[in-house]
Amino acid sequence: MRLPRLLPAAPAAAASLCLLALSSPATAAEPAAASAGSTVTAAETPGLRGVRGGHIPLAGTVNTRDLGGLGTVFGRHIREGLLFRSDSLGKLTDEGVAQLAGLGLRSVVDFRTPFEIEYDKPDRLPQGVTGTARPVSDNGSYKLLMDAIASRDPQKQQELLGDGKAEAAMHDIYRTFVTDPDSRAAFGATLRDLARKDSGPVLFHCTSGKDRTGWMTYVLLRALGASKATAEKDYLYSNTLRAETDKKARDYLKESGAMQNPDLIIPLQEVSTAYLDTALAEITRGYGSFPAYLAKGLGLDPAAQARLRARLLN
């Protein structure tokens, strides 16, 4: 894992460390100069056509998945090769871009904020894949982490992240997923796009592929008729896929002297059913029920839900 050199006084260095702590790992070799708009095409590579369902070993990510195969309470299953979720695509290697081309994607939805994209790099997409920016606020958690790491002060870091503060920040983020109009607009637009008959295979992602992407996936699975248990299991799978990368990030923060107690950031790195419960409680408070949230909060009325199921389920 290639890691950035720590420069205490430089905001860019602090941002790099934050992204290291929360996103996919820096790759062994940096991507070539071609970034977004790479000319790699599906015809030039076998890609990952044979890897459907579950985790996809996409070079430069750790949390890429095909949602195909997941079941619903109606006995139907999500079609393979239509719905993909991921962490950032900004660190894809050339091999990763070629693999991505092999998935046959038509579009990619990016939930990252402009600030994240500035430091984490724009998506590297194959030719013919349309990228759509739908930023969803992280409610200040990125700045919180940046301030903590940049301080290099154990006492300051404890004050910012310790004693439940990091967990509280995550609960606030999930609450905002439901209450913030711009966040609802981004999630709702993505659901409505997926319900269109002419919508091709789609991948959506944020930085780590676990919170904004995790909530989007949870909502989508429930809208398709998956049980709460199935949607929750997929949500928690991020902890398994990200465990090694996240531990390496904490080890580096310790070894570099940036943090004396890097375990303070674990609540920011991991997902938790408690976070989900906060968002679901907000749905109950604001909308009364999950179907009402879909219809009134996200603009996905029963007819649109029916179209979504018709297009995406076997």
Concatenating the DSSP letter of every residue in 47-116 gives TTTT--SEE---TT-S--EE-TT-B-TTS-BBPTTSEEEES-STT--HHHHHHHHTTT-SEEEE---HHH
Pairing of strands 83-86, 107-110: unpaired
Kindly report, residue by residue over 271-293, the tens digit of the pLDDT. Answer: 999 999 999 999 999 999 999 99
In this structure, is residue 49 part of a structural domain? yes
Give me the mean pLDDT over the 59-87 stretch.
Answer: 96
**Ramachandran sector of residue 164 (left: φ over 0; alpha: ψ -120 to 50; beta: rest):** left
Instruction: Please say if the pLDDT value at position 5 is more than 90.
Output: no
pLDDT digits (tens, 9 = 90+) for 104-117: 999 999 999 998 89
Domain presence at residue 2 = no
Sequence-ordered alpha helix ranges (H) in the chain:
11-22, 94-101, 114-120, 141-151, 154-161, 165-179, 181-195, 212-224, 228-255, 266-269, 273-287, 290-292, 302-312
Identify the domain containing residue 74 by its residue range: 11-312
Within-domain flag for 104: yes
Domain contains 5: no
Closest CA to 81 of 63, 111, 102: 102
Tokens of 108: 């990619």
- Domain for residue 257, yes or no? yes
| Residue 190 banded pLDDT, cuts 50, 70, 90 | very high
In this predicted structure, the answer to whether residue 53 has a pLDDT above a threshold of 90 is no
> 6 lies in a domain?
no
The answer to the question of residue 21 being in a domain is yes
* Mean pLDDT of the 233-247 span: 97
pLDDT at 142: 83
Residue 218 CA to residue 233 CA, distance in Å, equals 9
The better pLDDT of the pair 38, 72 is held by: 72
Q: Which residues of 256-272 are buried (b: 16+ CB within 10 A; e: fewer)?
A: bebbeebebbebbbbbb
**pLDDT the model gives residue 48:** 39
Q: How confident is residue 64, by pLDDT bands cut at 50, 70 and 90?
A: very high
Structural domain contains residue 72: yes
Mean pLDDT of the chain: 87
Q: Give percent of the chain with pLDDT exceeding 90.
A: 77
Q: Cα(69)–Cα(39) distance, rounded to whole angstroms?
A: 31
- What pLDDT is stored for residue 141 in this prediction? 87
Indicate the range of 2-11, 56-65, 161-170, 225-234 predicted with least confidence: 2-11
SS3 130: strand
Question: Tell me, what CATH number does 107's domain have?
Answer: 3.90.190.10
> Is the Cβ–Cβ distance between 213 and 86 less than 8 Å?
yes
CA distance 186 to 295: 14
- Structurally, the chain folds into a number of domains equal to 1
Task: Report the distance separating Cα 170 and Cα 64, nearest Å.
Answer: 22
pLDDT, residue 253, reads: 96
